[in-house]
Amino acid sequence: MLTDRDMERYDRQILLDHIGRKGQEKLKKARVAIVGAGGLGTAASLYLAAAGIGKMTIIDCQVPELSNLNRQVLHWEEDVAMTNKAESIKEKLSSLNSDIQIEAITEKITTENIDVLKDATIIVDCLDNFSTRYSLNEFCVKNQKPLVHAAVEGFYGQLTTIIPSKTPCLKCIFPKMTDKEIFPIIGVTTGLFGALEANEVIKLITDAGEVLAGKLLFYDLLSNSFDIIEIKKNEKCEVCANI
Amino acid sequence: MAKVKFFATFREVTQEKETEVEACSVEELLHKFVDKYGKKFEKLVFEKDEIPTELKLRDYVKILVNGRNIEHLDKLKTRLKNDDIVAIFPPVGGG
C-alpha cells in the first residue's frame, strides 16, 4: 500500500499512464540487487532509489580510489580509501530516500556466496569484469531471474536484458571475454548506461513499454548514434541450452 | 550482399557506420575490408602470425552474424548469404 508520503514523493511518475498507482506499488514491492557499485552501479542505484524500489541490495568489495571519482559520482573525496563502495552508496541514497530499504554487502561475489542474491527478483549487472559476469549469468539462468546487463568503455557501451528461458544469455552472446584491469572511460558513459539499466528495471517491474529482451543496444556517444541488433540463442550454450 | 555494421573503434577506423559487401564467408568479408580500409583495419582484426598464410582473429574482434556469435558458428569459415546482417565490435567490459 502506498502512503500519503509515497503519493506525494512519486507524484510525477504516478501521473504516467505507464506507471500509475499500481506500477508504483509494484516498484515498492520490488527487490533489486545491484552487483557492482562503480560507475554503472552509481547511476543505476541512484535512479532506482529515487523511483522508489522497495528494497535494494548493493554489492561491492572495493573502497573508492581518487581515480574512480570521474565517474563514480556517489563516492566523494571523503570516501577515498575510507568507505566501502556499497556502504558509501547506501549512505548517500539513504539521505535521498529514507522510505526504502537499502542493504550493503561488502564482499566480492563468488560462486560460494552468490546465494545472497536469492531474494532479489531482478539483478543488475554493474560489474567491471567478465569473469564475475559469467558467474552472475549462470546464477540468473539457473534461478530464472532477469539480468540487466551493461558494459562500457570510453564513449561507448552496450546494454541488453536477459530473460532466462526466453532470450540468449551472456555466454551465448559473449562467449570468450577476457578482462583488463584498467580501461579508459568518461563519466557520462557510465552515467548514461547506468540510467538505461535502471530504466530496464523499472520497465520489467511495471510492464511499461518494452525491454531489450533478445536485443543488444549499442550507443556511441562520440557520434550520438545508437543501434539495436537482434541477438539469438546458442542452441548448444553450456549455460542456458538445457534450461 | 551482406549488410555490415561497424561499432566503436571499427567505426573510427572505417569511418563508416555500415556498408554492404559481397562475400561468401566471414574470412572473405574481412579480406575485402582489409583491401578497402587498409593496414589499420588489418592490425585491429588479425593476429600477426609466424606463418602468414594462417589467419587468426584477434581476441579484440567480436563478430555476430544474424545475432549469433561466429564462435558458435563456423568461426572465420562461417558462410554468408544475401541479406545476412554482420555486426563487428570490440569487447567492452567496463563498469
For the CA atoms of A177, A167, B76, A129, the dihedral, rounded to the nearest 10 degrees, stands at -10
A157 and B92: CB-CB below 8 Å? yes
- Answer whether residue B51 shows pLDDT above 70: no
B11 and A174: CB-CB below 8 Å? no
How many CB atoms within 10 Å of residue A67? 10
Q: Say if A192 falls within a structural domain.
A: yes
If you average pLDDT over residues A46-70, what whole number do you get? 98
Name residues whose C-beta falls within 8 Å of residue A198's C-beta, 6 or more positions apart in sequence. A43, A44, A45, A46, A47, A48, A51, A124
Identity of the residue in A128, A222, A236 whose CB atom sits nearest the CB atom of B94 = A128
Which of the four pLDDT bands, split at 50, 70 and 90, describes residue A243? confident
- Answer whether residue A5 shows pLDDT above 90: yes
Q: Which domain holds residue A149?
A: 4-230
- Answer whether residue A37 shows pLDDT above 80: yes
Best CA proximity match to A202, nearest among A138, A140, A148? A148
The CATH number of residue A70's host domain is: 3.40.50.720
CB A202 within 8 A of CB A51: yes
- pLDDT at position B50, please? 58
Interfacial residues of B (vs A; Cβ cutoff 8 Å): 5, 7-8, 11-12, 17, 59, 62, 64, 66-69, 71-72, 85, 87, 89-95
Best CA proximity match to A38, nearest among A243, A187, A181? A187
CB A95 within 8 A of CB A66: no
- Looking at residue A17, the DSSP 8-state letter turns out to be T
**Helix-helix angle A187-206:A20-29, to 10 degrees:** 110
Better pLDDT: A178 or A217? A217
Which of the four pLDDT bands, split at 50, 70 and 90, describes residue B48? confident
The per-residue pLDDT for range A81-116, each reduced to its tens digit, is: 999 999 999 999 999 999 999 999 999 999 999 999
- Answer whether residue B81 shows pLDDT above 90: yes
- Measured between alpha carbons, how far is A116 from B73 in angstroms, rounded to an integer? 36
Q: Say if A18 falls within a structural domain.
A: yes
- Measured between alpha carbons, how far is A104 from A144 in angstroms, rounded to an integer? 23
Best CA proximity match to B6, nearest among B31, B30, B38, B39? B30
Question: Can you read off the three cell numbers belonging to residue A91?
Answer: 549512505
Q: Say if A98 falls within a structural domain.
A: yes
Coil/strand/helix, residue A78: helix
- Answer whether residue B24 shows pLDDT above 70: yes
Name residues whose C-beta falls within 8 Å of residue B46's C-beta, 6 or more positions apart in sequence. B30, B34, B55, B56, B57, B58
Instruction: For cell 528494497, name the residue.
Output: A55
Q: Say if A236 falls within a structural domain.
A: no
B67 and A232: CB-CB below 8 Å? yes
Q: Say if A19 falls within a structural domain.
A: yes
Which of the four pLDDT bands, split at 50, 70 and 90, describes residue A181? confident
* Complex ipTM: 0.92
Q: Say if A193 falls within a structural domain.
A: yes
Give the minimum alpha-carbon distance from B56 to chain A in angstroms, rounded to a whole number. Answer: 15
- pLDDT at position B75, please? 95
- Partners of A176 on chain B (C-beta within 8 Å) are 59, 71
A126 and B71: CB-CB below 8 Å? no
B-facing residues of A in 13-32 (CB < 8 A) are none
- pLDDT at position A76, please? 98
Give the minimum alpha-carbon distance from B34 to chain A in angstroms, rounded to a whole number. Answer: 23
A154 and B8: CB-CB below 8 Å? yes
- pLDDT at position B53, please? 65
- pLDDT at position A20, please? 98
The per-residue pLDDT for range A161-172, each reduced to its tens digit, is: 999 999 999 999
Q: Say if A237 falls within a structural domain.
A: no
If you average pLDDT over residues A65-78, what whole number do you get? 98
Cβ burial A168-187 (10 Å sphere, 16+ → b, else e): bbbbbbbbebeeeeebebbe
- pLDDT at position A180, please? 84
The number of domains in chain A is: 1
Q: Is B17 exposed, middle or buried (0-12, 13-18, 19+ CB in 10 A)?
A: middle
Question: Can you read off the three cell numbers belonging to residue A53?
Answer: 524500489
Q: Say if A138 falls within a structural domain.
A: yes
- Answer whether residue B49 shows pLDDT above 70: no
A152 and B91: CB-CB below 8 Å? no
Give the minimum alpha-carbon distance from A107 to chain B in angstroms, rounded to a whole number. Answer: 17
- Measured between alpha carbons, how far is A217 from A238 in angstroms, rounded to an integer? 24
Give the nearest chain B residue to A194 (CA atoms).
B95
- Answer whether residue B10 shows pLDDT above 90: yes
- pLDDT at position B56, please? 86
- pLDDT at position B52, please? 58
If you average pLDDT over residues A17-23, what whole number do you get? 98
Q: Which of B6, B72, B84, B88 to mutate to test the interface with A (most CBs of A within 10 A)?
A: B72
How many CB atoms within 10 Å of residue A125? 27
- Answer whether residue B55 shows pLDDT above 80: no
Map out the domains of chain B with their CATH numbers: 2-89 (3.10.20.30)
Model pTM score: 0.96
